[in-house]
Structure 1
Amino acid sequence: MAADTLFIRRRELQEIRNSSEHGCKPFKSFKSFRRQVVFTKKMKKFNDEVRRLVGMLGDASGGQQSQHQGRTSGFCLEEETHHVIGLEQQINELLIQLIAKQDQDTQVITVVGEGGSGKTTLATAVYNRVDVKRHFTHRAWVRINPSAYKSRDVLVDILKQFDQDQSVVLTAFSDETLIQWLTKLLKRTRFLIVLEDVETPQVWESLQAALSSSSSQGGRIVVTTRNANGLQTSDSVIELRRLNEEESWALFLNKVRLSEDELNNSDLISFKEQIVSICGGLPSAIVLLGGLLSTKGKSPKEWSRILTMLN
């Protein structure tokens, strides 16, 4: 039944795409009109996102990263983790720290690297693995925003992700009760918590008492940061570096959805040196630029226009 439904949905989507690509054909029913409206809205959302990413590209290539606009509750991660070129060694290292070692006490692993170096990509690739999901009975991911940070919000976020049924009750608890509840829960479960963008010692110090308490089940906390100095969080540290030219080009080809043979046999190969230079070995810049150029097909004129603008 699910397969039939999926097939129908795909066919409907294709019909909508065809109608948009081959002119404005009259709709035969309100249902088809509604589908077209939904598709148009989604395309507008996609175009707006591309414009936003283009704006970020200059900052990413300079080693800077825009501040997040707000704290994220129940952070949702995509299942796809194929953009990990150049991070294979670090992924294996993080996996060993998470599930291969049988330490019983809570362990804290810091992933450190400059903005755009792939910290979130690395953590996501591991967080979403099937073996990691099976190993940990409870998982939570919280993104920290220094401009709107409150330790209480982080604790509530974690507890909500651990137990969705308690989400309404949690807001009524005092800070002390929240800490006691979370500490008790962590001691009797095998958990994985990812704290993204912990940039100051004060943030970690405000959470350490509740999160680093002894766990009889082998809890793990992953902290991502651009600057590990002064955090004093870690049992181990994983450092990320910029990609070399070969890794950068391999990641770009992956994102632009062209094979190396296709590029070598076209005028587009002349842009290789310029692309590698603009991105500076930062995975975020490579992914953004590759995604943008993938929408331009094999048009040297369009590639040249975009790269000139970025320079």
Structure 2
Amino acid sequence: MADPALSFVIQRTGDLLVQKIVFLKGVRRQVERLQNDLVRMRCFLKDADQKQIEEERIRNWVSEIRAAAYDAEDVIEIFASKVEFFTKDKGLVTKLTYYPLKIVNLYKIGKEIESLRMRLKEIADSREKYGIKNLGVGTSTHGEELQRLRRSSPFSDEKDVVGFGEITKSLVAELLKEDRNRRVVSIIGMGGAGKTTLATKVYNHADVRERFNCRAWVCVSSSYDYKKMLRAIIKQLNPITNELLDMLEKMEEEDLERRLYQDLQDKCYLVVLDDVWEVAAWDCLARRAFPDVGTSSRVLLTSRNRDVAQHADAYRHPYELKTLGQEDSWQLFLKKALGHGANAGCPSDLEEVGREIARRCGGLPLAITVIGGLLLGKNK
């Protein structure tokens, strides 16, 4: 269950060590150590997964690993997508490196990784009191879905959402329109633009929660497993028992489709399909699993691919999420890097370089959040 999350992160770190961040020198060793720590953590998860159904404490333990893996992926993803931040425009990098507070340097990256390693160590040390054994690394492939890295239940941190006010209102209104047919509402945008954050905000909106008495969320990603997606949705719609889990594992694809259809039938449901890359992924689910029986149900879909959104509903335009403007980027950076609220301002001696950092993130909330988070610990 949690094993694929670590498998993906381990593969991601390996790819970056070879392809992306050889130039990081000292940080390279830190990333190697983080990768080894994640491999060791995976050794305990097979036993933990077998026990977490009965033990709430063990479920929490596994959740801690998942959260740590998610945070590790954030840092690793920023290396991959924004590595040019450190390699291009050497004049700027030199300037920042020798800036009094040494904003954006390898030391901060190394400290962030070291903090993650300490978290993993604390989690590993606590396993003994839960009776969790080392059952070996296992055989999970490196191609397991990114969906396991994303949180299985979306959470809302509205105080950190910047620039999404109007589009959130529009999306909520779209979902709540009086139309008894099943409708698809799509959010599109480039990676890191905040599609998942926006979908989470909408999913957790009070009016949406009140309207839809049956809700589920699944991350699809580029390498999806259709049966696992079906199981993931069914589990969110039913009380989790050993009997249910055993039954789902034994079900074939058509049986899972029928079960999901029955669970959703006659209900006003909202299902979020996050990070859909291919038309085929939508076709699989829409074919037989999602009823359209006049209950005003909705599917909220996020994708980087406009064709996917238009295929899912050719009659409605998707909501395109643009990158943040300069001022919204700056406000988000202030929140993440300095811990300030909106419009709280920045020390005058830091504002110029801070705005340049925010600008170089290209309006991508993920990039701003991760880099700002790296700086927050140092500033404190």
Structure with the higher helix share, 1 or 2: 2
- Structure 1 runs of 4+ with >6 Å offset: 43-51
Asked if structure 1 preserves the Cα contact closer than 8 Å seen for 2:215 and 2:271, the reply is yes
Give 3-state SS (helix, strand or coil) of 1:296's partner: helix
Further displaced range: 113-122 or 130-139: 130-139
Asked if structure 2 preserves the Cα contact closer than 8 Å seen for 1:141 and 1:195, the reply is yes
Cα deviation, residue 177, structure 1? 2.5
Asked if structure 2 preserves the Cα contact closer than 8 Å seen for 1:60 and 1:116, the reply is no
Cα deviation, residue 228, structure 1? 1.9
Equivalences for residues 204-283 of structure 1 within 5 A: 204-231=282-309, 232-234=311-313, 235-256=316-337, 257-258=339-340, 263-265=346-348, 267-283=349-365
Asked if structure 1 preserves the Cα contact closer than 8 Å seen for 2:187 and 2:320, the reply is yes
- Inter-CA distance 270–128: structure 2 relative to 1 (3 Å threshold): same
1:81-122 superposed Cα distances (whole Å, 9 cap, x missing partner): 2222111121111101212x0211111111100000000000
Cα deviation, residue 198, structure 1? 0.7
1:191 equivalent in alignment to 2:269: yes
TM-score, with structure 1 as normaliser: 0.71
- Inter-CA distance 240–44: structure 2 relative to 1 (3 Å threshold): closer
Bigger relative CO (Cα 8 Å, ≥ 6 apart): 1
Cα deviation, residue 247, structure 1? 0.9
1:35-77 superposed Cα distances (whole Å, 9 cap, x missing partner): xxxxxxxx999998776544322434489xxx98544398122
Query: What stretches of structure 2 of length at least 5 have no aligned partner?
Result: 1-63, 85-142
Match of 2:128 in 1: none
- Inter-CA distance 102–120: structure 2 relative to 1 (3 Å threshold): same
- Inter-CA distance 221–255: structure 2 relative to 1 (3 Å threshold): same
How far apart are the structure 2 equivalents of 1:74 and 1:57? 18
Give 3-state SS (helix, strand or coil) of 2:319's partner: strand
Give 3-state SS (helix, strand or coil) of 2:181's partner: coil
Give 3-state SS (helix, strand or coil) of 1:140's partner: strand
- Inter-CA distance 70–164: structure 2 relative to 1 (3 Å threshold): farther
Match of 1:145 in 2: 221
Which structure would you say has the larger Rg?
Answer: 1
Match of 1:12 in 2: none
Give 3-state SS (helix, strand or coil) of 1:216's partner: coil
Asked if structure 1 preserves the Cα contact closer than 8 Å seen for 2:184 and 2:312, the reply is yes
The structure 2 residue matched to 1:91, chosen from 154, 158, 168, is 168
Cα deviation, residue 79, structure 1? 3.5
Identity %: 30
Asked if structure 2 preserves the Cα contact closer than 8 Å seen for 1:83 and 1:121, the reply is no
Equivalences for residues 37-116 of structure 1 within 5 A: 53-61=74-82, 69-72=145-148, 75-99=152-176, 101-116=177-192
Match of 1:13 in 2: none
Query: What stretches of structure 1 of length at least 5 have no aligned partner?
Result: 1-42, 299-311
Give 3-state SS (helix, strand or coil) of 1:164's partner: coil
Cα deviation, residue 78, structure 1? 2.4
How far apart are the structure 1 equivalents of 2:206 and 2:213? 12
TM-score, with structure 2 as normaliser: 0.59
Cα deviation, residue 275, structure 1? 1.0
